[in-house]
Amino acid sequence: MPKHESESRKIALSGVFGALATVLMLMGGILPFATFAAPAAAGILLVPAAIEFGMKTGYLLYAAIGILSLFVVPDKEMSLIFIFFLGFYPLLKAALERIRSRAIQWLVKFSVFNVCILTMYAIVIFLFPIEAIVQEFSSAGLPFCALLLLLGNITFLIYDIAVARVVGLYCLRVRPKLIKMH
């Protein structure tokens, strides 16, 4: 395949996955639980671009969607969740899974999750306050916030497993069909 056709295919397929991810982020504002579900699904949509064209393409797509979501998605918390964790984690997961020790691998994964989420909420509460979130956390109290973080860690564990399964499904079912198309 000539280089210009290869570049065109790269741009087109990345554009399709990027557009789908952006639409998911926009649609996420409709349903209350989508604050976390939409960025989680959008992040998974970056994986095919990274598999087909390399991690650099995946991270560039992540950056583009992150910046775009800050401007067009009404729910800023959702955009920040995508930017601070759920957008890049499916890409980072491949590197983290090269760690040989499963215990260290999970320790690093949970550390990354907690540092990213706690940093994001610290910025949103203390540095650039989003009033609705500040009120929500101030009325909740510390024990409830700790419980919320624990539940977030459990949800992250499930998400990590789901990402692996979706990527496996893509590689086994979807990718062969994409390859046949060109």
pLDDT tens, residue order, the chain (182 aa): 556 557 787 788 888 999 999 999 988 877 777 888 999 999 999 999 999 899 999 999 999 999 999 999 988 889 999 999 999 999 999 999 999 999 999 999 999 999 999 999 999 999 888 888 888 888 888 899 999 999 999 999 999 999 999 999 999 988 888 777 66
DSSP at 127: I
Q: Which of 154, 159, 146 is nearest to 118 (CA)?
A: 146
Write down the pLDDT at residue 63. 97
Confidence at residue 109, expressed as pLDDT on a 0 to 100 scale? 98
Q: Helices 89-96 and 55-72, interaxial angle, to 10°? A: 150
**Cα–Cα distance for residue pair 67/61, rounded to 1 Å:** 10
Burial class, 124, CB count within 10 angstroms (exposed 0-12 / middle 13-18 / buried 19+): buried
Q: What is the pLDDT of residue 3?
A: 61
Tokens of 139: 């009325």
